[in-house]
Structure 1
Amino acid sequence: MAILNHNFSFPTMKKYLFLFAFSISFTFQVFAQDDAAELAKKLANPIASLISVPFQNNTDYGIGTFRGSRNTLNFQPVVPVAINENLNMITRVVLPIITQYNVTGEGQKQNGVGDAVMSAFFSPTNSKKLTWGVGPALLLPIGSQDFTAKKFGVGPTAVALKQFNGWTVGGLINQIWSIAGDESHTDVSQMFLQPFVVYNWKSGAGVGANMEWTRNWKASRSVVWLNPTLSAVTAMGKQKVQFAIGPRFNLAAPDAAKADWGWRAVIVLLFPK
């Protein structure tokens, strides 16, 4: 995955985009269209009945007063479980692994693991017009010293989407409140909202975007990112994978946390039934 590089530039990004475009054209030749199209459709659906292991890497530059940089690798496995013939439970974990420079102070470096968020969506197996799922979200205070709220939290989460003619349009939301933990740390009341849109071709290639809005109600602060991506489904030997890449735009954040720009690269290991 990406390594922080203070000399990273737009020409470098163009090189990565060229290589990614080449990988998409290679996908056209080596992967059966029907399989690729079906996998791409399922991947656009956060609650599809598909085991997947995404590694989502976000690298951001020009953060705050000291023009810092941060690399966040989100490990986020998705495992569906059939409750019965009419109901699935889709479990999802997001575990961030973080390295940052010059964010908290000039010459300062921190690295470690952030707190994990675990979600379970209960979703009907035969949704015809609208696919949806609801369930609990848990904040697990397992992060290292620099990146933990030291609070156990819980709240609701939901997702809804519609798929038609290659398009997937929908949104995901959760709200977490702390209910236990270190009393010396501030209580948690945080919302995460993610609207998304994706278009997939029959080859399995796709283009899309999502917006990620995190709202800290206790501090009355919001962080908003816009993430457009290009994606492709292919195979590496017998292992089916999806690749995605694109820029990141920090639309809103407190001055001390706002970044100039960033980029996202994703590798998803797929385990279809």
Structure 2
Amino acid sequence: MAPPLKYTLLKCCHLKKYCHLNYTLSLRYISPLSLLLVIGWAGSSSAFAQGSADELAKQLANPIASLISVPMQLNYDDGIGALDKGYKFTLNVQPVIPVSIGDDWNMISRTILPIAFQENIFPEAGNQFGLGDTTQSLFFSPKELTASGWTWGAGPALLIPTATDELLGAEKWGAGPTAVVLKQTTNGWTYGGLANHIWSFAGDSDRNDINATYLQPFLAKGLGQGRTINASLESTYNWEDDQWTVPLNLAYSKVTKIGSQMVSFQGGARYYLEAPDNGAEWGLRFTVTLLYPNKS
């Protein structure tokens, strides 16, 4: 009996680009707007004590984190695959753990564990469900702003091949640098950008190497009462295929309280200004972020 077609696809050089597609989709979810909702929940315990939704919303964009947060980000992408009939749901569980390292520096550990369901992305392969590849990032950030009011963080990023199905991951180990820089104004604006680059260094030799740059400028505006609107370009350049993927994201978020739990809700949509032939055309994103203040 012939092997299942999805395994045959993975061995075919002509269709190797599909194997790289899941990594490109996953890389887009490592975004500064996610950072605004995840790493960026860098508040102080006094903000929680005051119960100020506006202050908490402002802290969403500050990477000098002093609280633990657990964002759960649901992404939907449509129009994927050679026939543009594929779609993908990805629930990113993204725990963020900040650690103070001395008087002057914070280290922010950010893990992204994707749980995905996709259908009709690979020809005649049906659907797949399971874990995707995990991304672990560490950002080292000074506690004080620069003289001109900027804040920044930088460190390493590691791609870990944890996918439970070979069509949900790249089956490669990868690593590279990552950095974020942003500034907040007194009238509620936040602007800045995030960048990283991942190279693969080990893994299945039959799969495409990873050599990808991620760039995302972002802009957010606080509207009061814990509300924020934001926009970003989540751009990925695949150096192996000389191909850009550029979705424009627009989103609205609201900070509120459920019982004693502070929570941020976000909803938004994206349109792909540039994508490979087998890439997505449009998508949606919904995020719930649980916030845990530092009691020390």
TM-score by length of 1: 0.83
Q: Secondary structure at the match of 1:262?
A: strand
Counterpart of 2:103? Answer: 85
- In the alignment, the residues of structure 2 paired with residue 215 and residue 116 of structure 1 have an alpha-carbon distance, to the nearest angstrom, of 20
Alignment of 1:117-266 (within 5 A): 117-128=135-146, 129-144=149-164, 145-164=166-185, 165-259=187-281, 261-266=282-287
- In the alignment, the residues of structure 2 paired with residue 47 and residue 32 of structure 1 have an alpha-carbon distance, to the nearest angstrom, of 18
C-alpha RMSD over aligned residues? 1.9
CA contact (8 A) 2:64 2:142 kept: no
User: CA deviation digits over 1:230-251, x for unaligned, max 9?
Assistant: 1100011111100010111112
Q: CA deviation at 1:105?
A: 2.7
Moved more, 157-166 or 196-205: 196-205
Q: CA deviation at 1:184?
A: 2.5
User: CA deviation digits over 1:75-117, x for unaligned, max 9?
Assistant: 1111111001100001111122111122213682112221111
Counterpart of 2:61? Answer: 44
| Equivalent position to 2:119, from 94, 101, 112 | 101
Q: Aligned AA for 2:161?
A: P
- In the alignment, the residues of structure 1 paired with residue 244 and residue 64 of structure 2 have an alpha-carbon distance, to the nearest angstrom, of 26
Q: Structure 2: give runs of 5+ residues left out of the alignment.
A: 1-47
Counterpart of 2:76? Answer: 59
CA contact (8 A) 1:156 1:176 kept: yes
CA contact (8 A) 1:54 1:76 kept: yes
CA contact (8 A) 1:166 1:200 kept: yes
User: CA deviation digits over 1:113-151, x for unaligned, max 9?
Assistant: 211111111110011411001111111111122122222
Moved more, 181-190 or 165-174: 181-190
TM-score by length of 2: 0.77
* Identity percentage of aligned residues: 50
Instruction: Assess, with a 3 A threshold, how the Cα gap between structure 1 residues 130 and 94 changes in structure 2: closer, same or farther.
Output: same
Q: CA deviation at 1:163?
A: 0.5
> How many residues get paired?
242
Q: CA deviation at 1:201?
A: 2.9
User: CA deviation digits over 1:167-223, x for unaligned, max 9?
Assistant: 110111110111222223222111112211111133111111121112211122221
Q: Structure 1: give runs of 5+ residues left out of the alignment.
A: 1-30
Moved more, 82-91 or 139-148: 139-148
- In the alignment, the residues of structure 1 paired with residue 237 and residue 210 of structure 2 have an alpha-carbon distance, to the nearest angstrom, of 11
Q: CA deviation at 1:32?
A: 9.3
Q: Aligned AA for 1:244?
A: Q
